[in-house]
Amino acid sequence: MRLTFPRVALAALVLLMPPATYAFAQDQAPSSAPASDPSSAPSDTAPSTAPPPADAPVATPATAAPKSDKHPRSSAEIYKDLDFFGQVFDRIRSEYVDPPDEESLIRAAINGMLTSLDPHSSYMDPTEFDQTQQDTSGQFGGLGIEVTMEEGVIKVVSPIDDTPSQKAGVLANDYIVELDGKSIQGISIDDAVAKMKGPVGTKIKLTVIREGQQKPLYFELTRDTIAQRVVKWSLEGDVAVLRLARFTEQAYPGIQKAIKDIYTQNKDAPPKGIILDLRNNPGGLVDQAVYVSDAFLKEGAVVLTRGRTDSESTRYDAKPDDLDAKLAGVPLVVLINGGSASAAEIVAGALQDHKRATLIGTRSFGKGSVQSIIHMGDNGGIRLTTARYYTPNNRSIQAAGIQPDILITENVPDDLKGRDEILGEAGLNGQIGGGTEQTATTGASVYVPPDKKDDTQLQYAIRLIDGKESNAAYPPKADG
């Protein structure tokens, strides 16, 4: 068979891939982080570039997944198929009604090839790849303002400490009405946030209305690197609540800082218990899931990944450190729901299997696979599913999810009933299967009340730790 030059190029494009890969575990599960917060605006996934903590858990090789019995196609068969692809490509180029964009055609074909594998593999053009890196790093060029939308204008919820907005004097409850002299009346919150982001070192002018001031205030701010705040905490009486919205590179540092701040506010006394809220956390970086799990574990496996090759098969182990020693005697509850996916399920599964935490809520999403990001140079990158992951007890929760130790549902408003549940991974076309648990057949709720007083799951967890509720699953008891 003879290949023309364009077909040879296509063959090379398919058969040659750069080796740079990065592991992450994330799904497109709903996020509970407010879309109005530019410092926690929804992000995607990307390679982890942050150096591991000094006390990082140990990663060791694990056994690769069993090889498929399917007979591989010969080189001749593959080139024959590529020749057919080239014929179609040539026909489109020469005969389509309008001259097509050849680059777009090839990229669409590559994306189609990847998306045919499973719901989580895909192609990213250079812009999407760069955005993915930025989002999962948890850092971007911006102003450091948490905002919301109110009556068509942007209302400042809070300026973040030590950021351009805080240093310039922007205050909570200020209304931003213009950006660079242009009114933002009527634009979406996402568009407004996008306008405030930009390259570090660039300037932007804000026009602000402040209660008690007769005239507008004008600020010229220089964008700086803003760390996405993915961890928020509060003390409910003597119970600490840690809300982790996403597993970016800021996840473990955020947990560390939150625990330090809690002990400082509590005059170095431990809280009566800790609630780790992973509801509607869509996942993110595998290494961050391991670090967060290790914060509460002294030793033992955190997660095992198994792919086709030994390089994609790894066991991550916790090891003793000052943080888990400090928290060793503090009871732990983890909140999960139908939107807790992937990296969030790694953490929940590890803490459940080690009997370190009691899980409360509803069944999780059920994404038990790991994707690698492969950089393709100037062409962007690809997401490729390269492994399944297993909890310490060798459970694959693919398409099944993690069952809570205590099932607690929320009181869903009438107008949301029937729309608050998702089947999760089990409902996605092309999911890879291979789970060890029973596949989910019914939906799990993703609803979390906006007011914590109405949050049935949270309030039950608080009462459980306070001793006002009792359940055989709390505290968890080690086997034997």
| From 44, 287, 367, 396, active-site residue | 367
Angle between helices 5-15 and 75-95 (to 10 degrees): 120
Does the N-terminal peptide bond of residue 475 adopt cis geometry, omega within 30 degrees of 0? yes
- Candidates 391, 393, 399; CA nearest to 438 is 399
- Of these residues, 36, 40, 342, 369, which one is catalytic? 342
Residue 263 tokens read as 């002990």
Concerning whether 121 is annotated as a catalytic residue, the answer is no
The yes-or-no answer on residue 104 being catalytic is: no
Q: Alpha-carbon distance 372 to 311, whole Å? A: 12
In this prediction, the residues of the chain whose per-residue pLDDT falls under 70 are 1-24, 26-51, 54-55, 58, 63-70, 480
Q: How far is CA 159 from CA 142, 236, 290, in A?
A: 12, 24, 31
**Is 174 tagged catalytic?**
no
CA atoms 464, 466, 469, 470: torsion sign:
positive
pLDDT for the residue numbered 11: 38
User: What is the pLDDT at residue 19?
Assistant: 39
pLDDT value at residue 228: 81
Q: Are strands 21-26 and 444-445 parallel, antiparallel or unpaired?
A: unpaired
Contact 147, 38 (CB under 8 A): yes
DSSP symbol at 397: -
How many whole angstroms separate alpha carbon 102 and alpha carbon 67? 37
Catalytic residue selected from 27, 353, 420, 455: 353
Sequence-ordered list of residues with C-beta below 8 angstroms from that of 291, at least 6 positions apart, any chain: 52, 53, 56, 57, 251, 252
pLDDT for the residue 2? 39
